[in-house]
Amino acid sequence: MIFKNAKHQVNRKAKIILIIFGSIVFFFVGVFFQRFGLYGEKIAPYFAQMKRELKTNSTNNKLENISIDIPFINYNTIEEKRLEALRISKLINNDEYVSAHATYKGKKVKIKIRLKGDYIDHLSGDKWSFRVRVNSDETIMGMKQFSLHHPSQRLYLNEWLYHKIMKKEDIISLRYEFVNLRVNGKVLGIYALEEHFDKRLLEHNKRKESIIIRFDENRMWEEFIQFRPYRDRKIPGYGGFYSSDIDAFQSGNIRSDYQLKLQFLKAAKLLSDFRSNSKKTSEVFDIDRLSKFFALSDILGSEHGARWHNARFYFNPFTNVLEPISFDGNPNYTKSVICNTSSGYHSYYQKFFDDVEFYKKYLQYLSKYSDQSFGNQIINDYQEELSSLEDIIRSEWEDYNFSFDFITSNSNYIRTLLSPNRIVDVNIIAKDNKNLKLSIGNLQFFPITNLHLFLPDSTVIYLPESLIISGKNNEEHLSYEKLHFSISDDLKILENDKLHIGFNFIGLNEVKYEPILGYDYTFYEVPSDVKKEAPNYHKFNFIYEEVNSGKIFFKIGNHKLKGPIIFPPNKMIYINEGTTLDMSLNSYIYSKSPFTMKGTVDNPIKFYSSDTSAGGILIDRPETESFFENVQFYNLGQNVQENLGITGAVTIYESKASIKNCKFYNNFSEDALNVVRSTFNISNTSFSNNLRDALDVDYCNGEINNSFFSFSGNDAIDISGSKINLNQIEIHYANDKGISVGESSNLNAKNIKIHNSNIGVASKDLSNVQIQDLEIKTSEIGLAVFQKKPEFGPAKLNITNGTLFSCNVEYLLENKSTLTLNNKNLKDTIIDVSSLIY
């Protein structure tokens, strides 16, 4: 029993060792085969060959049979050419044909043969791609020249259908068939046979012999090979469309035939003039056939065949214009229509669509071919034949299935493009009983025309002249056109009338309507941005600058300002006692440098506006502090919003400022003094008879001492988002609030008197107000504590030694906010203070 178990264990170990050894051998053999390409080049093709031979012996697929015999030396030349192409990832042909024989229907003919294909996928495995020329007067399947390639190179049956549809629509198309191919007795299975470009192609399409012309692609591939290591970088472009030569097929025949040579010169000149924009699309091409070709390329997803290096054109000697030839379509699901492609071929395609007449026809055919009836007709015409061909293809590629889905999907996509939810953005610039001025922008890429106004009573008013509004690509800025409609005397447009703009895509009859929704203010003239204008202070004779000091001085005296003064940064501006400046005719001062203004009690500095038109003063982010002493500011700010875009008759922004013994009175702006994002100190200063707020402090740190406020149209002191200290402040007749504190501010105040105001002190929106020694007298509401803005929260107000006299309502306290008066916590009185006082 022990002996049997030991023997079993030995056998088990031997099996494990054998499995491990076999796995290692298998791995290294696999690596060796893969490293030297033995699997892809020898083993896989060998088994594929055996499979094809078995199927060939057991089935008859009813395809034509072609057998090619290439002498040993010539076959070696082809093999060497293939290995070179695999090495550089590109086949360089240079017309290196070798001699061979082909047998078709029992007849043996001499041929020339070479490899063909732009990319090395044409040379993979054992099904290489070939170009064939039949010698002397013989043909194969009626063709003198043709290509043979793996059906997958053109997506199997998709390319066959592409050529059938093109031919049905009278576009010159290649004969494209499937054949059984043997080379040197070796069964290569099913190949696609594609006709090449010569006079038999033209005759088969019922065209008279002439030139087939193209943009030569040799430089493109030369550049591709040279810069292949840098494919993700910018290349010089010598292989691009604008650098390509123009040449023709059958160039040997052209040189020896005067008529063909003349046709080539005409055709080349047409194509060259088109490329240089010397001639329009309709002057160079048969635009009916070209528009069909482009539209069908969109429907079939075959834009690949329309690219400049694949484009082939027939010169029609009767019309002296060029016709497209379908070639190398690779039909599949389309990503965009040709007129709006974002590929590297956009500039080439755009040349065609710069011609409106061509664009019209293109859209007509795009609409026609995308209609469901056209797709149904394709299925009815070709389904039976495609079904038979599908069975043949599946005899070699069992998993292959053909589907019309790519055509159906492309058609649905294009119909949607032709019916977008929004096409234009249209707004009113101005309107009255006789005129309506609109701005209109085309939101998508198809051009529109036939613009007209559609009134509620179905009246249609057309523009006096026809207008086409170009489309835009997704990355382009939306531009607007102005439309002017004249309204006749018997028509009226009422203020609330629902107006529509009518239009259609160029070339199409369907009229589309979109509502005119609002007003367009982009066409209104707005004041220039003073903050971006050049300094001009040196133009005023009452201003001078010390050389190399950066100091600017106002001359003492009475001066009249009739336009803006603009000061640059990094200067120091000095104004001394006895200086007055009458700011008239919408004048204002904008400075990026600080001021030092020092007047005296008997001889103050004055800034005023005798015609009340002045826009005020803005001090904008100077690097050092400004000083104001014994300065008076009055009758300012009438046009401050228009001229400077601010709210204060005097505005200090992101700066430091010291204001002493100054006066702000009779100012017309929203704020007499507005201090924003600054640090300041105000003392012994008075604010009186200002139209709205006297002092507005936004996001600042500062102190206000020994100052007086009277007859303010709104708030005397309005504090937002700031930390402020007040001392010895007296306020009379504030039409709204004596002190308003909001937006999470902190205020510490003492010795405050507020008389005859609407509301004495208001603390709101997360603000915290602490006041010692407060007197409020003869006011409508003494205190108010509440939340006004939903983004903030309740507020706090704490008063020590406070007295309220003759107030109609001593306080308003909202739920969650707190009010402490003389160490007593008061109870809330109202749910929503804001709705009561605003």
DSSP states of 169-234: TT-B---EEEEEEEETTEEEEEEEEEE-SSHHHHHHTT--S--EEEE--HHHHHHHHHTGGGTTS-
Say which residue, 490 or 811, is predicted with more confidence.
811
- Give yes or no for residue 32 having a pLDDT over 80: no
Q: In the structure, what pLDDT confidence band is assigned to residue 6 with cuts at 50, 70 and 90?
A: very low
Would you call 283 exposed, middle or buried from its count of C-beta atoms within 10 A (0-12, 13-18, 19+)? Answer: middle
Domains 424-519 and 610-837 share a fold: no
Say which residue, 326 or 118, is predicted with more confidence.
326
- Give yes or no for residue 255 having a pLDDT over 90: no
pLDDT tens profile 728-752: 999 999 999 999 999 999 999 999 9
Give me 297's structure tokens.
Answer: 């390329």
Q: In the structure, what pLDDT confidence band is assigned to residue 298 with cuts at 50, 70 and 90?
A: very high
Give the CA distances from residue 334 to residues 145, 248, 349, 497, 725, in Å, rounded to whole numbers and listed in that order. 31, 30, 16, 43, 70
Task: State whether residue 429 is helix, strand or coil.
Answer: strand
pLDDT tens profile 628-663: 999 999 999 887 766 677 899 999 999 999 999 999
| pLDDT given at position 93 | 67
This model's pTM is above 0.85: no
**Residue range 564-586: mean pLDDT, rounded:** 96
Helix 356-370 vs helix 346-353: crossing angle, to nearest 10: 100
- Give yes or no for residue 31 having a pLDDT over 80: no
- Give yes or no for residue 10 having a pLDDT over 70: no
CATH class for the domain made up of 424-519 = mainly beta
- d(CA 716, CA 709) in angstroms, rounded, equals 6
Would you call 52 exposed, middle or buried from its count of C-beta atoms within 10 A (0-12, 13-18, 19+)? Answer: buried
CATH of 610-837, one of 3.30.70.3000, 3.20.20.140, 1.10.260.30, 2.160.20.10: 2.160.20.10
Q: Are residues 656 and 691 in contact, defined by beta-carbon separation less than 8 angstroms? A: no
Q: Give the position of tokens 């192409």.
A: 85
**Residue range 275-290: mean pLDDT, rounded:** 98
| pLDDT given at position 837 | 84
Q: Where are the domains of the chain?
A: 2-36, 61-208, 215-370, 424-519, 610-837
R_g of the chain computed on alpha carbons: 44
Q: In the structure, what pLDDT confidence band is assigned to residue 251 with cuts at 50, 70 and 90?
A: confident
Q: Nearest 5°: phi and psi at 283?
A: -90, -15
pLDDT tens profile 593-623: 999 999 999 999 999 999 999 989 999 999 9
The mean pLDDT of the chain is 92
Dihedral-angle region of residue 773 (phi above 0 means left; psi in -120 to 50 means alpha; beta otherwise): left
Q: Nearest 5°: phi and psi at 370?
A: -85, -10
pLDDT tens profile 69-92: 999 999 999 999 999 989 888 887
Q: Give the position of tokens 């006004």.
A: 788
- Give yes or no for residue 39 having a pLDDT over 60: no
**Residue range 442-465: mean pLDDT, rounded:** 94
pLDDT tens profile 201-243: 999 999 999 999 999 999 998 898 889 889 889 999 999 999 9
Would you call 50 exposed, middle or buried from its count of C-beta atoms within 10 A (0-12, 13-18, 19+)? Answer: exposed
Q: Residues near 593 by Cβ (< 8 Å), separated by ≥ 6?
A: 552, 567, 568, 569, 570, 571, 572, 573, 622
